[in-house]
Amino acid sequence: MPDPSDEPPVWATDRFHLCETVPNCKLFGGGAYTKNGFAYAFLYAASASPRDYLDGSVIIARAPGGMKPEAGSTEMSIAEDQSENFVTRGLRHTMKARTPVVLITKNNNKLMTAGMPHEYCVLGHYKPTHIWWEKHKPISGKSDPKDGLRYRLERLNPYEEKAWFQPKGTEEIFPPGWFDPPIVASCCSCRGTFQQKYLQGWICVNKDCRAYWKLPAPSGQLQPLDITSLIYDPRFLKQKTTWPEERSLFFPLEYRPMEVTEDTRGEDFYSRAGWNGLVCPNCRGCIMRMSFLGWDCETPGCNYQVRVPLDKPMSASAITDSGPAFPLTDGYTPSQDVVYSDTIRVCKQICDDNFRMARYNLPIPGPDCYVVHKISNATINKAPGGPNDMFKQLQCTDIGLRRRRIGSEKRKEPKYTRHLFVNVGYDYNFVASGSEKSVPFAKVKAEAVRDVRTRLNWSTAQLIARALGRPFEEVREWYKRQEFNECLILSYFQDQAIGFHDDGEPGLGPNIATISLGDTGIMLFRMKKTRYSGVSKAGIYDWEYPPIPGCFKYKERLAQHDTIVRNAPTKNKQEYWKEAAKKLGLNKYFETPPVVLKIMLRHGDEAVMLGALLQKYYDHSVSHVGRIRFALTCRYIDPTQPREDGKPKGIPEPDMRLYDGSQLPLPRDRFGNPIRSGWEWEADEDFNGYQEFEGYNEEELRQMAEDDEDEGEDDAGLDGGDDEDF
């Protein structure tokens, strides 16, 4: 195939790079991007259907939707009548508003007459000029022609320049406007006025009209137009559409690169604009903000990079705090947690070592499973080496925070996490590919990371001691054997969040502790879908885990669970489980389990999850308000457990440091006496038994809707969408 005449204005190696770099082009899943009723971008790829057309100025494409692959082929054919969906409506609005759309081609586009130099190339801005109904040959096996929608788009080209993708050394033979203007006529039946689209003759393209898609036969009778030999009328195809002041319609294909000036503050680079992609000024490739340090062009040989200033950290006083009614003091900070469900047993809060500690017991059988929220105060945060210092250090040090690929490296179309992260300590297979090693605690550049591990070890041993009612010194001795040997550090910029997930990977210890630094995080807990509904996605009864209070049909399931499991046959188990689920009427897998607990994690707060089964029964998500939040999560990885990928394991580094949070001065009452409550947890007295979840009341729903709005885009939402291109 010949080379194109020129280089594309912007190109990318994968969708993610493209979608984060070209404005209004979030084609993460589908073939079209619409927002607020407007269509903004289309991906033009893969299979072509009959009468698809492309040259240097004009593109005729079918609307997305209703397509299926032909048996044994990748060729897509229309399987159902299309209907006017949001994409077509969006394009109509765009067309009426005289706003251009961006067209992108994938390098498997069969209509391109020049070889595409990259996986994804931006063709340019286009004017949508016509949308009309057409009869299509249906997919093999179906006889009736199907209704489909067609788009005609004309390249926005006010200076009449050659398209970059025109084959090298060639000219466009008939530029727009070369022929006579198209023939326009009105339909006798519906009075609609249309241009003649096909050489076969003028037809009505109003799908609801009696005369739709029909030509008068010599007898005078209306006959359906034969779809096998349609040819576009060149007067229609190559007409020139002029929009008012086209020279004014200049839209950059890239976000304006962030400039670093004397006024630049580090926190600017945590804003939404701070993690848009950039177009490389040297090679025109898309560059994602992959690293905490900035942008690095990944094109081999191109070393273009943009660095963010690491010497201008956001100060702890600039943190966006959701609790302005409770400014931090040296007293015990009030809680803002919300318990939505009666199934969560709340313990009496303990105030000690400057932390207000709230304990939430989850209704899981067996050893206690609970979440403790340790609410920090000003004394803790401002102490030397405390959360304020840690927050600063994490912003000013290169500790290797990066976005990384999700899933297998062999996957053709890579996906990336939104947040940045790095693993420190015991070498667990933290990246699916296992190609990256975690950083030993001894080598991580920020002291804060080592400090966090020691602090969280102290916190967790303390909590276990309190739970057992044993002296701390005694518990610390044996806790040492399961102390945290790994730390996962995550950073979330503005609008980045993590969707519902659990932290229970194989080979992890039962306790997981997190410290939150920076803007306030909102941590939500809900039952896992299978535990809540009692069935897997495939409809298999959840036989491994007994039902717990708060799940769907709790009483019925509880009454029958043991019998169902005991009577399971040795053969045809799947059928048996499915039948059991059906009999119980467990049909809510696709219903979202209710949120049972909300924890407001302010700067310096810790959340400790205790009990192995907690991760089997509950998921959690975290979003945040403001610009930047770090979460440092410590876990114990059992060195005797084999790695999932079979690779050699690392050497655990014991925590040789000491931390004692009880050394800080305690809050005092007005007479100067230190304030602290008792050592052991006590159950809150008013507990009226486990209630069946009866749905939220209006106030709760409203509150949760507000929380959702803050949540932004989450990782879990990225997987949806078929790869349907038009």
Q: Closest separation between CB of residue 206 and Zn ion, Å? A: 5
Residue 603, annotated ligand binder?
Answer: no
* Beta-bridge partners for 286: 279
Q: Closest separation between CB of residue 133 and Zn ion, Å? A: 11
Q: Closest separation between CB of residue 288 and Zn ion, Å? A: 12
Among all chains, which residue has been given the structure tokens 């290797």? 400
Q: Closest separation between CB of residue 235 and Zn ion, Å? A: 21
> How many chain residues interact with Zn ion (CB under 5 A)?
15
Distance CA 309, CA 8 (A): 32
Q: Does 527 bind Zn ion (CB under 5 A)?
A: no
Q: Closest separation between CB of residue 189 and Zn ion, Å? A: 4
Q: Closest separation between CB of residue 203 and Zn ion, Å? A: 9
Stretch that binds Zn ion, among 294-302, 629-637, 678-686, 704-712 (CB under 5 A): 294-302
> Which of 164, 179, 304, 690 is in the footprint of Zn ion by CB under 5 A?
304
Nearest residue (CB) to Zn ion, 204 versus 357: 204
Distance CA 548, CA 559 (A): 12
Q: Please classify residue 317 by burial: count the beta carbons closer than 10 Å to its beta carbon, then call 0-12 exposed, 13-18 middle and 19+ buried.
A: exposed
Q: Does 299 bind Zn ion (CB under 5 A)?
A: yes
Distance CA 683, CA 348 (A): 6
Residue type, 52: D
Structure-block tokens of residue 670: 């007005």
- Three-state DSSP at 354 gives coil
R_g (Cα) of the chain, nearest Å: 31
What lies within 8 Å, CB to CB, of 349 at 6+ separation is 335, 356, 357, 358, 359, 677
Residue 373, annotated ligand binder?
Answer: no
Q: Does 10 bind Zn ion (CB under 5 A)?
A: no
> Which of 190, 249, 716, 718 is in the footprint of Zn ion by CB under 5 A?
190
Nearest residue (CB) to Zn ion, 293 versus 302: 302
> Which of 280, 290, 357, 475 is in the footprint of Zn ion by CB under 5 A?
280
Q: Closest separation between CB of residue 572 and Zn ion, Å? A: 58
Backbone angles phi, psi at 15, to 5 degrees: -60, -45
Q: What is the DSSP string of 282-311?
A: TT-BEE---BTTEEE--STT---EEE--TT
Show contacts with Zn ion in window 198-257 (CB under 5 A): 204, 206, 209, 211
Structure-block tokens of residue 556: 């019925």
Distance CA 173, CA 4 (A): 16
Picking from 158, 94, 166, the residue whose alpha carbon sits closest to that of residue 123 is: 166
Q: Closest separation between CB of residue 84 and Zn ion, Å? A: 17
> Which of 215, 283, 339, 383 is in the footprint of Zn ion by CB under 5 A?
283
Distance CA 206, CA 209 (A): 5
> Which of 10, 187, 203, 369 is in the footprint of Zn ion by CB under 5 A?
187
Picking from 522, 518, 514, 516, the residue whose alpha carbon sits closest to that of residue 493 is: 518
Stretch that binds Zn ion, among 185-193, 359-367, 440-448, 463-471 (CB under 5 A): 185-193
Structure-block tokens of residue 563: 């019998």
Are β-strands 184-186 and 146-155 bridged in parallel, bridged antiparallel, or unpaired? unpaired
Beta strands in 338-462 (DSSP E): 338-339, 345-346, 350-352, 355-361, 370-375, 405-406, 415-416, 420-425
> Which of 73, 186, 282, 567 is in the footprint of Zn ion by CB under 5 A?
282
By rule CB under 5 A, what string of x and - marks binding of each residue 398-437 to Zn ion? ----------------------------------------
Show contacts with Zn ion in window 92-151 (CB under 5 A): none
Q: Does 260 bind Zn ion (CB under 5 A)?
A: no
> Which of 189, 315, 560, 677 is in the footprint of Zn ion by CB under 5 A?
189
> Which of 185, 227, 302, 716 is in the footprint of Zn ion by CB under 5 A?
302
Positions at the binding site: 492, 501
Catalog residues that contact Zn ion under the rule CB under 5 A.
187, 189-190, 192, 204, 206, 209, 211, 280, 282-283, 297, 299, 302, 304
Binding residues for 2-oxoglutarate: 492, 501
